[in-house]
Structure 1
C-alpha cells in the first residue's frame, strides 16, 4: 500500500499535471506541500486500518486470564495480521488446556495430601491426646483433693484440643461427604461453623440430581472456602448457604452474607482457587457485591450424564 502511494505521487510529479520552476513559484510550492500532506494522511489512514487488528490483539493480551477461558480476539482481514491473531488464539487454546490438566493434577494431589494429614491427625495425634485424657482422668480420680481442680482443668483443656483436632480432620477429609452425600456434608459444614457472632443458615433442596464425586467435592470445597472468607473478611453477622436445582441439568450453590462486601479488593488465593475448581468442572463461578453491601458467591455446576459419571 505504501508503494502504491509513492508510485502515484511520483507519476503525478513526472507527469504534465505538475511542474516546478527555478526559482520555485508560490503556487508550485503549495502544490508540493499539499501533495506531501496528502501522502502523510494516506499513510496514516493505511497504518490505522492495517494495525487495527494488532491493537485489538494487544488489548486481548492485556486482559487475558486463563481462569476466564473462551475469550478470544476476532480474526478479521487476511494476511500476516490474521495469521498472527489465529496463532495467538491457538496458543491460548493450548495454555488453557495445559492449565486445566495441571490444575486437575494439583487438586488431586491436594486432596490426597489432605486425606493423609487427616488420617495422621486422627490416628496419631488423636490417639495420643485420648491417651493423655485417660491418664488425666485416672490421676484426677486418685490424686489428693487439692490437685483435683487443676487436673480437671487440664482434662477440659485436653478434651477441647481433641475436639478441635477432630474438627480440623473433618475439614481436611470430609468423611460425611463420602459416607452420606453432599447435602449431609453441607449441613455438617454449617454446623461446624463456630465463628462467634455469625449465624449460618442453610437451605438445601430435596431431590437434587445425582452428581459426580468430583462435582460434589468441588461444591463442598467452594462452600468451605466461601464460609471461611465470610468469617475472615466480611464482618457479617449472617451467612446464607443455598443449594438448589435452578434449571434442568444445573445445580446452583449460593453463599450470601450481609457484610461489607469486597470494596474493590483484588481476588486472593482463595477466590482464585474456587475459580480453578469451577474451571475443572466446566462450571460458572462469580463473586459479586450485593446492593445491600454484602457478598454473593455463586457456583453453577452442570450435571453430568450417567455415562460421564
Structure 2
C-alpha cells in the first residue's frame, strides 16, 4: 500500500510541474515577446518576472498537494494507543486519503492486538493471584493455625511466669493469620462469586474503614441489571485499586463509593476529598485500571475535583441477559 501511495503522489507532482512548464512555454511561444541576440535589460526583466511567476505558481500548487501530508504528520504524532478510538479525518485529507486510510487501518489492528495482549496478561495476572491466594490459605494459613493450636496447648501447661510471654506470641500469631486471610481475600475475591458485586464492594469499604480512619460513604443504586463475570471482576478490581490509592496517597478524610446506571452502562464512581493528583504522572496502577476497562469495552476517566480530591469514573456495558428479566445476582 505504501508503494502505491508514493507512486500516486509522485505522478501528481510530476503532472503539476509539467503543466506549469507547459503553460510557461505556451505563453512564451504565443506572446509577441522576443529575445534579441544581445538581450536588452527590459527583456531580461521580462524573462525574470516570467520565471518568478512560474516558480511561485509551482510552489503554490505543490503546497496544495503536500500540505495534507504535513497535517497528517502532526496528527500522527498526537495519536496515543492508551486512548483508543482516535482516528484521522479521511474527508479533508485528499490527496493523502489513501495514506490516512492505511494509517487508520493500522491503528485498528494495533488496538485490537493491544487489547488482546492486555486481556491475556490480565487473565494471567488473575490466575497468578488465584494461585498465590490458594497457597497462602492452604500453606501459610494452615501452618499458622497449627502454631496457634500448639500455643493454646502450651499456655495450658506452662508455668505462671511464662504465661504472659506465650500470650504475646499467641496474639502475634493470631494477628498474622488474620493478615494472611486479608491478603488472600484481596488477591482472590471469593466474595465476588459467593455474595455478588454489591456485597463485595461493601466488604471492600468495610475493610478500608477497619484498616484506616477513612470514612467510606456508599451509594449503590438498587435493582442494577446484570454484568458479565468479566465486567464484575473489572469493577471490583478498579474499586479496589482506587480505594487503595486513596488510602495510600490522597490524605483524604472521606471517600464516596457509588454504583449507578447510565443508559446501557453501569457506572462506578470513587470520589475522595484529598489532595488530588497534583500533576502526578499516572502509574502502573492507573494504567492497569484503564486496560481492564478497555478489555471489557468500558471506559475509565480520572479527573481532579474543584476544591480538591480526585474522581474516578468507570463505565462498563450491561450484560444483555440482564435486560431480559434475569435476576440480579448482586442484589
Superposition deviation, residue 80 in structure 1? 6.5
Query: Cα RMSD between the aligned structures?
Result: 2.3
In the alignment, structure 1 segments of 5+ residues that lack a partner are none
Q: Which residue of 2 aligns with 1:267?
A: 282
- CA distances 1:235-283 after superposition (whole Å, capped 9, x unpaired): 2221111011233x32110000111211222221111111111111211
**Secondary structure of 1:306's partner?**
helix
Q: Which residue of 1 aligns with 2:166?
A: 151
Given the alignment, which residue of 227, 240, 264 partners 1:224? Answer: 240
CA distance in 2, matches of 1:13, 1:28: 12
How many residues were matched structurally?
308
Paired residues for 1:74-153 under 5 Å? 74-76=89-91, 81-153=96-168
- CA distances 1:180-215 after superposition (whole Å, capped 9, x unpaired): 100000000111114534222211111111111111
Q: Which residue of 1 aligns with 2:313?
A: 298
Query: In structure 2, do the counterparts of structure 1 residues 128 and 14 end up closer, same or farther at CA, with 3 Å as the change threshold?
Result: same
Corresponding position: 1:201 with 2:217: yes
Whether the aligned pair in 2 keeps the contact of 1:53 and 1:76 (CA below 8 Å) is: no
CA distance in 2, matches of 1:13, 1:293: 73
Whether the aligned pair in 1 keeps the contact of 2:254 and 2:272 (CA below 8 Å) is: yes
CA distance in 2, matches of 1:243, 1:79: 46
Whether the aligned pair in 2 keeps the contact of 1:12 and 1:18 (CA below 8 Å) is: no
Given the alignment, which residue of 195, 203, 215 partners 2:231? Answer: 215
Given the alignment, which residue of 179, 204, 223 partners 1:189? Answer: 204
Corresponding position: 1:37 with 2:52: yes
CA distance in 1, matches of 2:289, 2:147: 39
Whether the aligned pair in 1 keeps the contact of 2:151 and 2:166 (CA below 8 Å) is: yes
Q: Which residue of 2 aligns with 1:3?
A: 18
Whether the aligned pair in 2 keeps the contact of 1:60 and 1:72 (CA below 8 Å) is: no
In the alignment, structure 2 segments of 5+ residues that lack a partner are 1-15, 327-331
**Secondary structure of 2:64's partner?**
helix
Whether the aligned pair in 1 keeps the contact of 2:225 and 2:319 (CA below 8 Å) is: no
Whether the aligned pair in 1 keeps the contact of 2:226 and 2:322 (CA below 8 Å) is: no
Whether the aligned pair in 1 keeps the contact of 2:212 and 2:247 (CA below 8 Å) is: no
Given the alignment, which residue of 221, 233, 236 partners 2:249? Answer: 233
CA distance in 2, matches of 1:5, 1:37: 12
**Secondary structure of 1:259's partner?**
coil
Given the alignment, which residue of 13, 16, 20 partners 2:31? Answer: 16
**Secondary structure of 2:227's partner?**
coil
Superposition TM-score, scaled by structure 2 size? 0.86
Given the alignment, which residue of 187, 190, 200 partners 1:175? Answer: 190
Superposition deviation, residue 14 in structure 1? 4.2
Whether the aligned pair in 2 keeps the contact of 1:5 and 1:39 (CA below 8 Å) is: yes
Superposition deviation, residue 122 in structure 1? 0.4
The answer to which structure, 1 or 2, has the higher relative contact order (CA under 8 A, 6+ apart) is: 2
- CA distances 1:46-70 after superposition (whole Å, capped 9, x unpaired): 2332223323322332122223222
Superposition deviation, residue 131 in structure 1? 0.9
CA distance in 2, matches of 1:235, 1:35: 74
